[in-house]
Amino acid sequence: MRYLITGTAGFIGFHLAKRLLEEGHFVVGFDGMTPYYDVRLKQKRTAILARSNGFKAVTGMLEDKAALDRAAELAEPDVIVHLAAQAGVRYSLENPRSYVDSNVTGSFNVLELAKSLRPKHLLLASTSSVYGANEKIPFAESDKADEQMTIYAATKKSMELMAHSYAHLFLIPTTAFRFFTVYGPWGRPDMALFKFVDAIRNDRPIEIYGEGKMSRDFTYIDDLIEGIVRLIDVVPSEDNRIVLETITDTLSKQAPFRIVNIGGGQPVGLMSFVETIEAMLGKKAIRHMLPMQPGDVHDTYAVPDLLVALTGFKPRIEVEEGVRRFVEWYQENY
């Protein structure tokens, strides 16, 4: 099939494009190559994808509709996967406007593109951060998610709402998946695992927020990609509505639109995560314990039942194995 994927120079977009190319699909990648973190890492990812004759790259910002249109003309996509975004919870405190520009205006442009192209399936990357102040643990897709704690989360929830309206008005089959703390090789340097490994290896202290009393539902990148690839084939319709007493399907009654968690439902304590890294490196961290940062939540914890019902798959790679693979990649590249 033919794919248009936004964010292919990024962590998740790179891995998804690589997987689809290996399966013989044609992929046009769209990315702004912004300097939010070291652009050289983005260039390395793109260079790996460019080894395939089935990959074409278009550089441009999501806010630039003309650039998106050029990518669409090249792709003629059967499927659009929108992964590009301004990421990072803490950076949203410093530069909130970039989140509105990319995640709201940029996502609106992607929706407009889908309206004109009418792909077989539009898939959008959201985040577990949209659950915000929700006190019900674990998080199910049908839970209330109206109290976002950061502008990052608010812009992602806004994208979900806009996407539902477009799915309703223009009958665009749409799936929004909510990610839970994705990690692995080729990850972003601002993410906890990368920062911790880099600091421990170089004898710098690591900053542990919330006094280490938080937990995260870590999702290894290969598991995330497997979940996305399987969901591509599950085009939202009444034909695949899940009707089970134990699962509430988020398939809308007004639109071909569904929200799905991609998480394993196995949260790991932050200190246990740090100890796993120390064990893999054979070296103790210099720990700098800090209070919770504004916008942080104590725990993330997915209910994966809907994903399993739709695809037969649940993330399964344990944190110890995932951290080992990341450390090997880091040591080879840094």
Give the count of domains, the chain.
Answer: 2
Q: Is 16 helix (H, G, I), strand (E, B) or coil?
A: helix
User: Residue 140: inside a domain, yes or no?
Assistant: yes
Q: State whether 80 and 142 are in the same domain.
A: yes
pLDDT surpassing 80 at residue 90? no
CA 129/CA 145 separation, integer angstroms: 9
Q: What is the pLDDT of residue 293?
A: 86
Domain that holds residue 140: 2-182+218-262
**Pair (178, 198) in one structural domain:** no
Residues 121-138: pLDDT tens digits?
Answer: 999 999 999 999 888 999
Rounded Cα distance between 115 and 105, Å, is 15
Query: Exposed, middle or buried, 156 (CB in 10 Å: 0-12/13-18/19+)?
Result: buried
Nearest Cα to 249, choosing from 301, 179, 300, 305?
305
The mean pLDDT of 299-303, rounded to a whole number, is 94
How buried is 248 (Cβ within 10 angstroms: 0-12 exposed, 13-18 middle, 19+ buried)? middle
> 265 — alpha (psi -120 to 50), left (phi > 0) or beta?
left
Over residues 84-102, mean pLDDT: 90
Q: Tell me, what's the pLDDT at 89?
A: 77
CA distance 303 to 40: 36
Same domain, 236 and 326: no
pLDDT at 144: 92
The pLDDT tens digits of the residues spanning 144-186 come to 999 999 999 999 999 999 999 999 999 999 999 999 999 999 9
pLDDT tier for residue 88 given thresholds of 50, 70 and 90: confident
User: Has residue 49 been placed in a domain?
Assistant: yes
Say yes or no to pLDDT of 295 above 90. Answer: no
Averaged pLDDT, 251-271: 97
Residues 198 and 80 in one domain: no
Say if residue 148 is in the same domain as residue 244: yes
Residues 6+ apart with CB under 8 A from 276: 319, 320, 323
Token pair belonging to 309: 């019902």
User: In the chain, what percentage of residues exceed pLDDT 70?
Assistant: 100
pLDDT at 276 over 80: yes
Alpha helices in the chain (DSSP H): 11-22, 39-49, 65-75, 91-94, 96-99, 107-117, 151-170, 192-201, 221-232, 270-281, 305-311, 319-333
Q: Is 310 inside a domain boundary? A: no
Q: Are residues 17 and 90 in the same domain?
A: yes
Mean pLDDT for 77-97 is 91
**210 and 290 within one domain:** yes
Which is nearest to 20 in space by CA: 6, 5, 38, 35?
5
DSSP 47: H
pLDDT, tens digit, for every residue of 193-205?
999 999 999 999 9
The residues carrying an active-site annotation are 152
Is 306 within a domain?
no
What does pLDDT average to over the chain? Answer: 96
Confidence of residue 247 (pLDDT cuts 50, 70, 90): very high
CA angle 36, 40, 45 (to 5 degrees): 100
